[in-house]
Structure 1
């Protein structure tokens, strides 16, 4: 079932983007933009007395401002005017540099805030929701699409700076000749209005590019995850062909965007040239302005016409990234709606003194027919070992997720002693639970890094004790010992070694409940014996749940629970 497409409303999305920016920093950037524009406008106006001092009789701008500036001719020298003009240039250069750096800092702050906020929303979302989403899509959004939003924000800053500068230029133009300035204003507005369809196309291209980026991210993640089976199936050529196809799709979207932008620039150049020609005609043929008087005006509009291109291109870039902004906002709202109820950070974890109890617990996954679990009644006495068995898809993992507090039952309840595990207490309970999955996840650092991931404050003695309890003594015989690098996802270690390090990491938490998911399903006899020895040593010290089928592991259990079709099978039926 495809996810609904997030609506794209550029103005609303622009407001959301600006709301994410640091307001104080934004005010500083805008102030610098205005200062740069003012120095630019005043600098252009200073050209009038400079030209007048060169030829006092001929160089004179029209209007009252022209008279005012021309009046300076008798009171200042050419050298003084040139010095003032150069001072303005230096001031503008400094202001522009400060504006550029502050805008870049603002852009980075915006991108970092958006990434941190979205990542926090994802990791705080309900496991029920996360389990139905593709992680590579989230990675693409966090890495690529928010990067596009940052670039678009930079374009918006350029747009704002250009608009402020253009206003300063227009103000100077109106003061020099309001008739010519009015023609230029109407002509520029007409040119920009003509690009409405072009901007709609930018929104479509942005949506397509976002999909292409997701496809590339998914292909990379899935390709590396499945590289072993790809080699075993002799599918390297097919994998390369798939990757090349995804790349072609992505490049095609990027080229379409580049072509659209290029067409826009070409059209603007033609329109701008026609506008300049019209201004010359109006000024010289219609208004009969002297050529000398037209020079400052033409200089103003020679600078203004390229600004039309900057304005169009900047807005085009923002619209192209609007799809990414829409998806980011939609995901942010969705993660907020499925966020887990938070427990106080300083609240103590729950203790287990008597039993973990399920009464009438039922659970159904969204979008699936039938319940995953039906009316589960189960008691796990404290510091006993329970084995859960059953065919694939019977509901064992769903039951384990409820016992660990990852999922909350739709019907019935779960209690730890007398505490109902629901809402914020689920997080409290998880602080007392450890889990070792069938394919343990290890960081790509050292063994020490992986152990400290669970307990950052653990000292050397605690690390060595946990490894010993997990029958992971092999670590001490390695050349670098606990500082041995394990490779990407622990690939330099055997499956049994990874299992034992994952078990040691879990034991560092001193859990009240320890859940082991198929801990020896793919291990050789020696590794299975080591894991069995470690688990046997935990019997009576921690409440254990073992999910599996290996008889050697089931023999360690105080009780055996068989589940089929989401229901616990009574012992008599299970025995048959």
Structure 2
């Protein structure tokens, strides 16, 4: 387990302190102490005001400096009291701003940590993760955890204020304060015994939230297929079940919160009743002191409720923090080597796979075993085979996403291992069956991942990819393609993706079933683009379409090799 991963509430607090900054927390604490002090002073002013209103003399234990206030007109005392309340309100405003900034900063920092760890992880680990779980962590759970530091500060703020008020009450009436503390301790113990496991509520919510996120992501991605086969009712039933589970998790927490609030109100009323009776009838506390003490306890009551709610919320959020940091730990353990600055790997002769073995951890047999292949520079290689034969795995090995478990893949005798594998990847272009396009212009999509390319280079890449349709569009390169390129046809999206690959000026181009869903015209356009680059670039084509198979210098049937 990573030393940065908290295993308890105390460790979680220490972790949050480190990443939010001790100086910021100390500054917030200073403001909270100042706010609590102004509240204590304001309550002290109740003593001379009560003396004036009741027409009673001050008790002997009241300091002389405080007694001097009783000679002032009541309107002056009231004005001073209002001024103190206004000052405390201004300080509280500052504290709340600091709390919000710390919470938002925490959410951003956690999101950045997840993002960096995920982006730097090995593809062999990433390919086994669910994108919906990642989305739930970055979007939902990180925001939820932003409230964690706010809850911690709220606990601290309420605790400081309560301590200041208790010290004030103890100075005015030690006996009454001691009685109140004993009764409050008994009530707190009873409340804790009646509460369920707050962590279990948080774990239930964490699990239900991730399932809902996954269902939404998967369901939306497959909505078209569901409509075609008439499976909308099945999607709705599954969604209802997941939503109901999340509702149950939230309701358990809400019900417990309301139950605690109810108990708190009844307990507070009972304690105040005892305080009034004992203070006036048993201890005979003078009215001049009793009114301020009672005001203090009336102020402490809601603060205690806030403290209880904040502590419950803290416990409720801890499982989400453990889940998020656990994911970061796993991703860091699976991090790929850092790229060095040795420059591009020379590719003048050939790529060689010699005795390559590769197996996924959840498979009983290796996907590739003692595999050999030689790809001359400038060749066009067609990789065939049924689903599960290892076509995509071989492509990932050749482009440097994966590293062979045994044997070696070399480029001009340089093994694709460690940093060299990461460097080689910068020289490879991978065109997927479903190309990634975002809601931006064609120029933006072409330049994605390839900085510093000018307009002439983009036009050359478009021509090399047989994507001249771009020049016929009214806005040309400034045409907005829409989300996932929905404003373009399937063939246009694929040719645009190939143009982006050409813009990288790659040594190796891998085409993964790029024409499997295209009409003959677009398939021919892509075949023409490959033919035009023959001998200039090295192509590895995954798939069985005749138009591309006919271009190959070498055919590799992985299905036959496995048999």
Pairwise TM-score range, normalised by the shorter structure: over 0.9
Alignment of 1:7-406 (within 5 A): 9-55=8-54, 57-58=56-57, 60=58, 64=61, 66-68=62-64, 70-73=66-69, 76-197=72-193, 200-344=196-340, 347-406=342-401
2:406 pairs with one of 399, 407, 411: 411
2:375 partner SS: strand
2: CA distance between counterparts of 1:409 and 1:271? 67
Check whether the contact 1:53–1:73 (CA below 8 A) recurs between aligned residues: no
Residues 330-379 of structure 1, C-alpha deviations (whole Å, 9 max, x = no match): 112111111111114x5533231222222221111112101111112222
Check whether the contact 1:22–1:110 (CA below 8 A) recurs between aligned residues: no
Q: TM-score, normalised by structure 1?
A: 0.92
Check whether the contact 1:390–1:396 (CA below 8 A) recurs between aligned residues: yes
Residues 76-108 of structure 1, C-alpha deviations (whole Å, 9 max, x = no match): 554544443333222212211111111111111
1:266 partner SS: helix
Match in the other structure for 2:523: 528
Check whether the contact 2:219–2:235 (CA below 8 A) recurs between aligned residues: yes
Match in the other structure for 1:440: 435
1:271 partner SS: helix
Check whether the contact 2:51–2:70 (CA below 8 A) recurs between aligned residues: no
1:199 CA drift (Å): 5.2
Residues 493-516 of structure 1, C-alpha deviations (whole Å, 9 max, x = no match): 222111101100111111111111
Check whether the contact 1:390–1:564 (CA below 8 A) recurs between aligned residues: yes
1:129 CA drift (Å): 0.7
Match in the other structure for 1:574: none
1:564 partner SS: helix
2: CA distance between counterparts of 1:523 and 1:411? 37
Q: Per the alignment, do residues 186 and 354 of structure 1 end up closer, same or farther by CA in structure 2, a change over 3 Å counting?
A: farther
1: CA distance between counterparts of 2:187 and 2:464? 76
Residues 251-303 of structure 1, C-alpha deviations (whole Å, 9 max, x = no match): 22222221111001001111111111222233223212133321111010011
1: CA distance between counterparts of 2:236 and 2:442? 34
1:195 partner SS: helix
1:157 CA drift (Å): 1.8
1:349 partner SS: coil
Residues 217-273 of structure 1, C-alpha deviations (whole Å, 9 max, x = no match): 112111221121111112223323332332222222222221111001001111111
Q: Per the alignment, do residues 416 and 81 of structure 1 end up closer, same or farther by CA in structure 2, a change over 3 Å counting?
A: same
Check whether the contact 1:475–1:482 (CA below 8 A) recurs between aligned residues: yes
1: CA distance between counterparts of 2:510 and 2:204? 44
1:309 CA drift (Å): 0.8
Q: Per the alignment, do residues 513 and 293 of structure 1 end up closer, same or farther by CA in structure 2, a change over 3 Å counting?
A: same
1: CA distance between counterparts of 2:329 and 2:343? 30
2: CA distance between counterparts of 1:477 and 1:299? 79
2: CA distance between counterparts of 1:332 and 1:85? 51
Q: TM-score, normalised by structure 2?
A: 0.94
1:169 CA drift (Å): 0.4
1:20 CA drift (Å): 2.1
2: CA distance between counterparts of 1:239 and 1:438? 26
1:360 partner SS: strand
1: CA distance between counterparts of 2:515 and 2:425? 24
Check whether the contact 2:32–2:157 (CA below 8 A) recurs between aligned residues: yes
1: CA distance between counterparts of 2:390 and 2:553? 21
In structure 1, the gaps of 5 or more residues are 1-5, 570-576
Number of aligned residue pairs: give it.
559
Residues 458-515 of structure 1, C-alpha deviations (whole Å, 9 max, x = no match): 2221211111110111112123222223232123322211110110011111111111
1: CA distance between counterparts of 2:70 and 2:497? 88
Answer with 197-206 or 309-318: which moved more: 197-206
1:122 CA drift (Å): 0.9
Q: Per the alignment, do residues 559 and 409 of structure 1 end up closer, same or farther by CA in structure 2, a change over 3 Å counting?
A: same
| Matching of residue 504 in structure 1 with residue 499 in structure 2 | yes
2:200 partner SS: helix
2:558 partner SS: strand
2: CA distance between counterparts of 1:218 and 1:515? 30
Check whether the contact 1:451–1:505 (CA below 8 A) recurs between aligned residues: yes
2: CA distance between counterparts of 1:452 and 1:197? 61
In structure 2, the gaps of 5 or more residues are none
Match in the other structure for 1:544: 539
2: CA distance between counterparts of 1:388 and 1:197? 66
Answer with 349-358 or 116-125: which moved more: 349-358
Check whether the contact 2:49–2:70 (CA below 8 A) recurs between aligned residues: no
Residues 176-234 of structure 1, C-alpha deviations (whole Å, 9 max, x = no match): 11111122222223322333355543221111111221122112111221121111112
Tell me how large the CA RMSD over aligned residues is. Answer: 2.1
Answer with 85-94 or 220-229: which moved more: 85-94
1:70 CA drift (Å): 4.7
1:501 partner SS: helix
Check whether the contact 2:51–2:288 (CA below 8 A) recurs between aligned residues: no
